[in-house]
Structure 1
């Protein structure tokens, strides 16, 4: 309602703008002698008619009055009494706008001079304004009047039929208009209470009339729009809304519970069956299955997943049992195989002492070297050993081979002693040297040499190279193909590097002009033993005490 009143006020402003900007209206008001009076009247009334027929004045009761300063009055309506120019100009409202410093003057209760055939309202809402040209020169006076009482009663008649009444009242309590002429007016006490409220909108309860009053303040007119709703009607409407709300609430709640029950029954029944099957599976019965024909959607997918999981678990358990049986068999074979190295090691020690008693130092040294190799092979708990230890094992093996081949080849070691404690795979260097001795020198003559190089690369990798000047890798492979038992040394090292270092370990064979270069690259891992000086000194002192005690006895 407040917005509608503001729209009507804006209509008056728009009409003034159109009149002030119309060049024909300005020409007639400035120079009425240009045409005869009848032509002037016809042209002005045509402008009024066009404005009334425009889209923003459609179905609005707006009346125009325009005066020039040459004694002429133009209206868009038939007047209740004859129009007298001097009398109109002398009226307080026109005299006020001529002397006022404000460009427009609002008159909320302007006397209605429109013919009763068009408007029966006693008062109109009018705005008075001076018409000025672009040089700010005044060339006429305009009055735009709105029959707000007719509009108010017509617009709000449906609300009156429902028992609600609307009023437009001034701050002093005067009723400007009301939607129902027969309705009881708003009490003065209620209007006083409304006028004392600093807020532009609000509500209050009028105990005298037993009604709720909603009000909104129109600042430009100093009016209040008041809506009065009797409390019985309000409570009755609230009660109806409450009943409708609770009825809809219980209806929707019942429908929701029913749908929830159906959904729960559809979901929980297969889930309960799934729970029973899972309990059976938990008691080692992996042969249970859930029939898939009864379900669909997510439940079917869950059922299929459960059945697939049981099949996979059953196969996995069978595979684990087979692997366990295989591990037991391998463990048994390993325990059985350990007996042979121990027997051989004891036999080597016996042969060594026999050779020493008979002054066969070569045989004794070979027994010592072979014993070292057998002793290291018995230690199955260690995969990585120090480079220093691997060199010693290689030297033991080389000693045996040089004795066998009567020093036909020479072994050279090129590495920094700082790498002594770098970790390398156990028995990784010895097979490379063995491969060079047994294959590279099969048909070679002259100076036969094997060079072992160990170095640290820029990428923090340990590089081990075994180079020989033998017959070459390709020719050695051709000769090896004639053997009944193929060699497994290089293949074994590659597999061990892959198990220990994944993709970081590599073993490459490089063909040289004379001979072969085998290069092994592994991560550089340094493991320096801790110093035990304190414990050694303590042990030394303890030994001295024991020796002194023994000597005294």
Structure 2
């Protein structure tokens, strides 16, 4: 696929118009979608919270009513006298009949009560359950609900469970239990009121929580008190689902199109939880998507038609101008262009015609400048070869000759001759890695003869690099800088190490490392490249001229310990 910049202007205009239309429709659609969804979700949340709070207050009133009934029995003098009997043989009497009539009256006026059970500490038992034997039951007193009621100052509400006293074992009840005590807080027994399950359901059934919404009640022990599906009372995994639902974050529920609201009931350990399904939000989202698809399709068709007409009117004169440029590219500078179109295109054609007379002249001027620049750079570099080096070398030869050291005179003379031969040979701007290393080797040999033990050097190169073509006289200025600005100040011997190695891809690295004093002023904020003199700057600029801005010279400065100069080149020299 072609890059965007290579597409035709007609295609670009069409794509731009269509993309702009899609963006506008998409932005408006998203804004409408999210704002409407947020508003509807907020309204559903308010409605759900109101419904749950209302039902919670009704439950509180109902629980208070049940507690009132329990107070009526638990504080009845007849109940106290009956269950305070010192003997279990006394099972009849006025007190028992009064209590039974009181229980029956409560059952008649409160049909949602399944059963009322009074169990004395000495085994007395009064209840409306016909199948429960009226004698002392140690099993009943050992049950959890009985033990929980002991010592309680308030009635204890249980979770939903099977009514063990009823013949119908499928009856689910919720029990209210409390301890029976006299005025001196002496334990007399336990009162238990079994509430039919549908009594709670009748209070919660009118809540509008959506098609898949529901409500449930958990107690402090996270046991299920109420749920529309009785399976949640007996199956542990389903009970854990309700606990997880209560602890889920809002964003997790949003992904499932649900929201929850909890209401903690006063004077009990129950929490009422409403789970609303966002059916309305889901329907609204589907409707918005349909509207956006239809609206987007209409706008896209309109945008495509209008943009096609506009793109053709713009592209036609540009195409004419392009054909004229093709003729100029073939060498026909006498081409005339008569372009009609917008003011910008007409101006463009006018400027194009005026530029034809200057193209050849400017291109030739640029070519001449580039050639002159490269020649000037190399000449500048040649001029930077310090004349003092030549004088000092000749002095060294004279000094060796005076002492009759003919072999060393011959070696230094040969090294100097090869040094200048490699520098000036053929007038070429390039050389090979082999000759460049040989060039700097001759230079270091001559300097070694001069400085003796104060100078040592090593030259190493990886295999396969010797025949690579590079600009010449790159290393000698760096080595000269290392000697005169680094090693010459050392009280003892100095070391220069030159390495040629290949880097990643097509990169070639030439490294000059010394253990001299480094660039001391670089720590004061000065550029090490400027501190190294014209030679270093010249080398860096030549490398960038040949290879581009990504290549050049870098300096790792270690004040007082030396410096490392790295030249980054390509293994292939660009064609000039």
TM range (shorter): 0.3 to 0.5
TM-score of the superposed pair, with normalisation by structure 2: 0.33
TM-score of the superposed pair, with normalisation by structure 1: 0.34
User: Which structure is larger by alpha-carbon Rg, 1 or 2?
Assistant: 1
